[in-house]
Chain A
Amino acid sequence: MPVLETEGGAVWRKRTTGQAMARWAMWLLGVAIFIWCWQRISDATTWFFVWDAPEIAGDILGRATPPRWSYINTLWEPLWDTLNIATLGTLAALVMAVPVAFLAARNTTPSALFVRPIALLIIVSTRSINSLIWALLLIAIIGPGVFAGIVAIAIRSIGFCAKLLYEAIEEIDRTQVEAITATGASRMQVMAYGIVPQIAPAFAGIAVFRWDINIRESTVLGLVGAGGIGLQLQASMNTLAWPQVSLILLVILAAVVVSEWVSAKVRGAII
């Protein structure tokens, strides 16, 4: 127990002198790194523009209120597109994520040495790249529009869904699988009756959870031209139509809140 010897006797301390010094050095290093980072940001900033930021913010707020409510009639169609991008994208992602998850789970993969690393690579690479970047790429490949948005959302969601799903598969109860195998079931039948019922609730939960996230992401895909309400946002900002921008932001906020509510309800019903 580290103690500090004083005239009045030994006093308890949390750490020995060496530990305290090591921690102090780590903190010093951390602070130094932070200050260096801040220095770089500061150098790249035009502080002149920052000082009048409150004024600019007030100006923008003044222009943006009240929102142009009549503009909502042109927003229904983009909103429908946004919903479709998220829903169809999620469905497509699930279709692709299921085989990937079965290949990646330790207990169902046909080959832990060759197939599993490939499945894990698919999961990591699709997950680490944002859907906006996928959209950017797909627009360059297949042209702007809703379809590019759907594919972008689908690719981005594969990794997320497959990761959660394969973790669920790895946690299944082996005895149930064994019981089905003992009846003489084929490999596919073991899947259908031994594994699928066990992961079905997790699967449904993951699907709804990802759908909720995808609604959020698809609202901004239009910024790069991939359809949905983001297109209107981009167009309104380019023409500096701030009342329209504020209305679109309110609509996006409402869509996010509604989707979160729906997803919470459905997940509550499943689990």
Chain B
Amino acid sequence: MTDVTHRELDDLIGRRWRRPPLVKRTWLRWTLVIGGVLYLIAAIASVEVNWSRVYEGLERGWAFVLAFTSPDFTSRGDAIWTGMVESIVMTVAASVVGILISIPIALGAARNIAPLPVYMICRGIIAVSRALQEIIVAILLVAIFGFGPLAGFLTLSFATIGFLSKLLAEDIEAMDRSQAEAIRATGARWGQWIDYGVTPQVLPRLIGLSIYRVDINFRESAILGLVGAGGIGATLNTAFDRYEYDTAAAILILIIVIVMALEYISGIVRAKVQ
């Protein structure tokens, strides 16, 4: 604390040291504390919990935990296999298409590359894509395109665009201007300027983000089935509805294993490119 004057220091001598509070202004601190407590009381009071129902459920909860020790991969094996393949197929296709579309949009959304009108349009696309959650987009697309993996594929592509374009555009905006200018000084065309001046600077990050997005897309594809957009979610939903916890546990274990594998691969790849 450098702003303590000598006078204040004199006052402090002989007193016990106390930890400095997180929020400095006293009135603000107390408003936050009292407001927080009041909100918590109101919130907890408005949550109705049927404790007898919860108590009855504990047994089922325990049955589910036990199911993890004996997951059943075989009796619904066909459904699990088809659902998993569909999830993976949707993930791959949507990631490829999403990444391809998000690269031009990211270029357009970088202020140091695009003129203002293009910038506004591209930022608008990103904002819309980011504000709408996957599952809501999936509901609308299922209503429009009908049930099946096409709706899921389109949902994931759409969500990928918002995520990847925004982060990539920020990276492009933070790039080193002088390298791009050096390429331009050689008389390069616009395409060559992007290819040799900009791409090498952002490529490692693009690869890292793309792999991260594949990971997210797979996780999301697991829930799209709940609203009829294809993938493993439908199988999982059915398993829960029928109280077949061993099958549900098998599906969840598969999801966790695949996510872990993807995370491991992405760690290796990111370490390699950066």
Measuring CB to CB, which residues of chain A are less than 8 angstroms from any residue of chain B?
30, 33-34, 37-38, 40-42, 44-46, 49-50, 53, 56-57, 60, 80-81, 83-84, 87-88, 124-125, 127-130, 132-133, 136-137, 140-143, 145-147, 150, 193, 197, 200, 204, 216-217, 219-220, 223-224, 237, 249, 252-253, 256-257
Chain A residue with Cβ nearest B49: A147
Given A50-B150, A237-B139: A145 and B48 interface contact (C-beta under 8 Å): yes
- Determine the chain B residues whose CB is within 8 A of the CB of A217 once the complex forms: 133
| Residue B148, interface by CB 8 Å | yes
Chain B residue with Cβ nearest A227: B47
Give the dominant DSSP class at B's interface: helix
Minimum C-beta distance from B105 to chain A (A):
20
CB 8 Å contact bits of B82-102 with A (1 = contact, 0 = none): 000110011011001000000
* Interchain CB contact under 8 A, A38 and B47: no
- Determine the chain A residues whose CB is within 8 A of the CB of B44 once the complex forms: 88
Bound form: Cα–Cα A262–B144 in Å = 34
For the A-B complex, the count of residue pairs with Cβ-Cβ distances under 8 Å equals 144
Number of B interface residues at 8 Å Cβ cutoff, please give it: 59
Bound form: Cα–Cα A49–B151 in Å = 12
* Interchain CB contact under 8 A, A130 and B222: yes
| Residue B29, interface by CB 8 Å | no
A/B interface sample: 25 pairs, CB < 8 A: A34-B92, A45-B145, A46-B148, A50-B145, A50-B150, A53-B145, A81-B46, A84-B46, A84-B47, A87-B39, A127-B259, A128-B255, A129-B222, A129-B252, A130-B220, A130-B222, A130-B223, A133-B222, A140-B241, A143-B54, A219-B133, A220-B135, A223-B135, A224-B226, A252-B136
| Residue B6, interface by CB 8 Å | no
Select A41's contact among B43, B90, B227, beta carbons within 8 Å: B90
* Interchain CB contact under 8 A, A41 and B144: no
* Interchain CB contact under 8 A, A41 and B149: yes
Minimum C-beta distance from A37 to chain B (A):
4
Bound form: Cα–Cα A146–B58 in Å = 17
* Interchain CB contact under 8 A, B226 and A132: yes
Bound form: Cα–Cα A253–B50 in Å = 31
- Determine the chain A residues whose CB is within 8 A of the CB of B140 once the complex forms: 60
Given A80-B46, A128-B256, A143-B53: A34 and B144 interface contact (C-beta under 8 Å): no
* Interchain CB contact under 8 A, A53 and B144: yes
